[in-house]
């Protein structure tokens, strides 16, 4: 198999995993839309029912209203099928997602390119770092990981397991060590080794815990003593199962740090895949990748059109 064929097969595999991963979300939407009508005239009542379906699938009130307004403009008073409605929604969703569907790019001219990973407890942040490390390594980049979640021994061990699995060096200190000092040392070591990418983990924050958010700001201040342009990316990892609560997390983290992009995980365990659309529409931050499973291959950048069609249960 040629390199081009292997790449094509890999993309097909990801599309299959994405489709399977979004099955719960698309099932809810498809069932809800077909429950409103199979073939009938699009009137005010059916538009209200469709809007409710979109909102309950976590597309958010404002985004749902926008999709409904577009549908009404094109189809109001016409006989339509549920598939025509889903196709119209998918086209509009793809337009919303297009501008934010941006992979996490590494500037190889700077060594290291520093990526700070933030998020609340349980968002999948540490696992995401391990998956990104593998993907960067597979692309031929040298990678280091810093176990900056010094509150949890399990997080340090988890990152060390990913380090062994991917052949990636992990900078770690004992549980309870100062996270900012660890980040400082990790940058020193990455610079000395000429490493392409340094991925820094942080302790899971609760957005309502001011002291934890302050500590995160301290980590960033210390990083900037090493490199005033760093972190070059500050990626917020969101658990896709939390639905609209993701918006309050984004708001809280943006108030404390310069969030540059998002990763949305665990979409395979959720009926709330619509939240990706709501975030794209309302927040406008790049969505670097979505996660639909446990393996490193299950975290990938998405294509707006494919994601939109899968979400609406279309081939």
Instruction: Say whether 17 counts as a known binding-site residue.
Output: no
Distance CA 130, CA 295 (A): 10
SS3 29: helix
Query: Which pairs from 32-38 meet CB under 8 Å and 24+ separation?
Result: 32/56, 32/57, 33/82, 33/85, 33/86, 34/82, 36/82, 37/80, 37/82, 38/81, 38/82
Q: Is 245 annotated as ligand-binding?
A: no
- Tokens 């996660």 sit at which residue? 291
Handedness of CA 21, 22, 28, 30 (dihedral sign): negative
195 is known to lie in a ligand binding site: no
Can you tell me which residue has the tokens 């985004």? 63
**Cβ-proximal residues to 275 (8 Å cutoff; 6+ apart), any chain:** 58, 59, 60, 240, 242, 243, 244, 246, 264
Consult the annotation and say whether 201 binds a ligand.
Answer: yes
Contact yes or no for 171/198 (Cβ under 8 A): no
Q: Is 126 annotated among the ligand-binding residues?
A: yes
Is 121 assigned a ligand-binding role in the annotation?
A: yes
Dihedral angle of Cα 201, 203, 206, 209, to the nearest 10 degrees: -130
Phi, psi angle pair for 198, to nearest 5°: -115, 120
To the question of whether residue 313 is assigned a binding role by annotation, the answer is no
Tell me if 266 is assigned to a ligand binding site: yes
Q: Is 230 left (phi over 0), alpha (psi -120 to 50) or beta?
A: beta
CB 249 within 8 A of CB 118: no
Q: Is 168 annotated as a binding residue?
A: no
63 known member of a binding site:
no
Task: Name the nearest CA neighbour of 83 among 20, 25, 39.
Answer: 39
Question: Residue 91 contacts by C-beta under 8 Å, 6 or more apart in sequence?
Answer: 308
45 alpha-carbon distance from chain centroid: 35
Backbone angles phi and psi of 3, in degrees to 5: -60, -40
Query: Which single residue is written with the structure tokens 């590494």?
Result: 106
Binding-site members are 119-126, 201-205, 265-268
Which segments are annotated as binding site for GTP?
A: 119-126, 201-205, 265-268
């Amino acid at each position: 198999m040629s390199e081009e064929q292997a790449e094509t097969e890999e993309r097909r595999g990801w599309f299959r995993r994405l489709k399977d991963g979004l099955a719960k979300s698309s099932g809810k939407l498809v069932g809800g839309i077909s429950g409103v009508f199979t073939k009938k005239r699009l009137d005010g009542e059916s538009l209200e029912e469709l809007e409710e379906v979109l909102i309950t699938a976590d597309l958010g009130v404002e985004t749902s209203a926008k999709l409904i307004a577009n549908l009404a403009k094109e189809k109001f008073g016409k006989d339509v099928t549920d598939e025509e409605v889903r196709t119209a929604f998918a086209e509009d969703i793809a337009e919303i997602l297009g501008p934010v569907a941006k992979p996490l790019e590494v500037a190889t001219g700077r060594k290291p390119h520093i990526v700070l990973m933030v998020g609340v407890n349980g968002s999948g942040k540490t696992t995401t770092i391990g998956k990104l490390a593998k993907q960067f390594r597979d692309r031929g980049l040298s990678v280091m990981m810093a176990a900056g979640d010094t509150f949890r021994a399990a997080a340090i061990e988890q990152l060390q397991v990913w380090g062994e699995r991917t052949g990636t060096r992990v900078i770690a200190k004992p549980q309870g060590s100062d996270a900012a000092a660890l980040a400082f040392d990790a940058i020193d070591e990455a610079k000395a080794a000429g490493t392409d990418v340094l991925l820094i983990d942080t302790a899971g924050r609760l957005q309502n815990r001011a002291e934890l958010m302050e500590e995160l700001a301290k980590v960033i201040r210390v990083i900037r003593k090493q490199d005033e342009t760093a972190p070059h990316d500050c990626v917020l990892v969101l658990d896709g199962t939390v639905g609209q609560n993701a918006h309050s997390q984004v708001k809280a983290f943006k108030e404390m740090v310069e969030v540059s992009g998002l990763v949305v995980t665990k979409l395979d365990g959720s009926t709330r895949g619509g939240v990706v659309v709501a975030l794209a529409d309302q927040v406008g931050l790049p969505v670097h990748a979505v996660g639909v499973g446990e393996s490193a291959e299950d975290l990938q950048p998405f294509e707006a059109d494919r994601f939109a069609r899968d979400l609406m249960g279309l081939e």
